[in-house]
Chains A and B, each alone.
Chain A
């Protein structure tokens, strides 16, 4: 198999970027132009970006870091650009300063290459809105990539950038990561400063990171936390534990992973058999312990009540004085205003009890494991998965098949990595969530990285539709044999 040089360099990761360029005899400026050409070729059909920041090489860009690009979801401030949240009435609201996470990325030296599409106010799972339209799934060039952070997920999947920033309230970076075939890190709640972010539900929201590898998600989290002083040390720790297949196998062998049984039991059809086969292999490599949390409809209700009330508190007045939002979202706002304090507080009591119980169950475990989604996108049937325009109730596909797997860990505020673990032909790979203990992102990333080395030895898998489109546009000499750069890591 041959791969495009942009993909090979991106596969080397943030901290392998410089050496990957050297090994391909490619300057950062040349890489930048190839990457920009790719965006021009592909994004006309995918609509991942809502704005692009063009820069000329040499215009203050001298260090390799100046070419490590970040794409930012359109509810996070980048100075000088509008932060619209996909809402028509915010089209001209230009941010006067960077959000905290973007400022930290720039301080480290990284570049911002654009803003990315999302559901209106992040209320949905299809990455479509009335202002910018729909983003398409990179695996098929059509249909939804999931949401609400579908824009940054597609940008990462298609090689526009090293990292995408999204927000996650009930699964909004993990769901599009699974449907676009990339990796996501949702840090612990309170782990990152949300200044300059349009929040949806402040007691659930986190900034999240999308990338092609666990390592890049973890490093982006460190950079955007402003935690760069210990970056080298953290990098060495993770690299030392998982640098080889053998080391990774050893780390998995010594780890104890709690399997959330009820979330595997609720899988149906092909994804159930694929997950079952993969789990059979995992059982031979690590210590799996069955865990029963007792998750039921109350977990999803608690999440939805919290979102409805907190979103309505924050935005209902502003929306009432401006353009109408999508009908399904307006129903959520109306419900949020009608739910009593008594019911809101009981939803928080449920969260408190769930968090306490889960952490008690994890005392002797390193991480928990469950699927990221109960449904995988196909070239057909997207209309059945629309969230904004359809019912939000338990009967809706989006709620039953996607949110069920992600909302519990939003309620508990735990860090989660959603990652591809097994190829599925022409569709995005099977995705699993690893759930860590609060503020133990480093330990979580170590185990996830080990799993990545074992189960994704070929690295990131570019969607075939994107690969074919790039190949049709690019001269053949840009293709190089797969693995050339990874060997030079």
Chain B
């Protein structure tokens, strides 16, 4: 893969190292669905279904 792709992979690993070392695991995964604790809303960002992921075929 070209330099740009390698750079992203390298930085993502550095970010993971930092998260593992510095964040309290009890904070949970912070997964996207339902992560907005402020409003208590779920992440129904896409209307009735998921975004048009491959829906064009």
Contacts and interface: CB of A to CB of B under 8 A. Distances in A.
B51 A301 contact: no
Given A331-B1, A331-B2, A313 B11 contact: no
Interface string B18-49: 11100100011111100111110111111111
Interface residues of B, number: 45
A205 B56 CA distance: 19
A153 B29 CA distance: 37
A396 to B, nearest CB: 9
B44 A190 contact: yes
Contacts of B2: 327, 331, 334
Contact of B27 (A90, A315, A343, A352): A352
Nearest to A347: B15
Given A195-B47, A335-B4, A345 B15 contact: no
Interface string A192-204: 0111111100110
A249 interface: no
Nearest to B52: A198
Contact of A301 (B14, B35, B38, B56): B14
Contact of A335 (B1, B32, B44): B1
Nearest to A296: B18
B48 A195 contact: yes
A302 B8 contact: no
B39 A334 contact: no
Contacts of B44: 190
B11 A202 contact: no
Nearest to B17: A346
A338 B9 contact: yes
A265 interface: no
Contact of A314 (B8, B13, B35, B51): B51
A259 B19 CA distance: 26
Given A331-B4, A345-B29, A352-B28, A202 B15 contact: no
Contact of A349 (B8, B23, B48, B51): B23
A202 B50 contact: yes
A194 B23 contact: no
A100 interface: yes
Contacts of A64: none
A304 interface: yes
Contact of A298 (B18, B30, B35, B42): B18
B16 A392 contact: no
Contact of B12 (A301, A359, A437): A301
Nearest to A344: B12
Contacts of B42: 190
A331 B43 CA distance: 29
A369 interface: no
A346 B19 contact: yes
A302 B8 CA distance: 10
A393 B28 contact: no
A189 interface: yes
Nearest to B44: A190
A202 B4 CA distance: 23
A47 to B, nearest CB: 25
Given A197-B51, A304-B8, A393-B7, A349 B36 contact: no
A408 interface: no
Contacts of A318: 54, 56-57
B43 A190 contact: yes
A438 B39 CA distance: 7
Contacts of A393: 3-4, 7
A194 B53 CA distance: 12
A328 B4 contact: yes
Contacts of A351: 30, 35
26 contacts: A193-B45, A194-B45, A195-B46, A195-B47, A199-B51, A202-B50, A203-B43, A205-B51, A301-B15, A305-B11, A315-B53, A318-B57, A331-B1, A331-B2, A339-B12, A346-B16, A348-B29, A349-B23, A349-B29, A350-B23, A352-B29, A352-B30, A353-B19, A391-B3, A393-B4, A439-B41
Given A188-B39, A413-B36, 17 more contacts: A93-B56, A196-B52, A199-B52, A203-B32, A304-B8, A327-B2, A334-B2, A334-B5, A339-B8, A346-B15, A348-B30, A349-B30, A352-B29, A352-B35, A393-B4, A393-B7, A438-B39
Interface of B: 1-5, 7-9, 11-16, 18-20, 23, 27-32, 35-39, 41-54, 56-57
Q: Give the top 10 A-B pairs by smallest Cβ distance, nearest first.
A: A352-B30, A195-B47, A199-B51, A314-B53, A335-B8, A335-B5, A331-B4, A346-B16, A203-B32, A346-B19
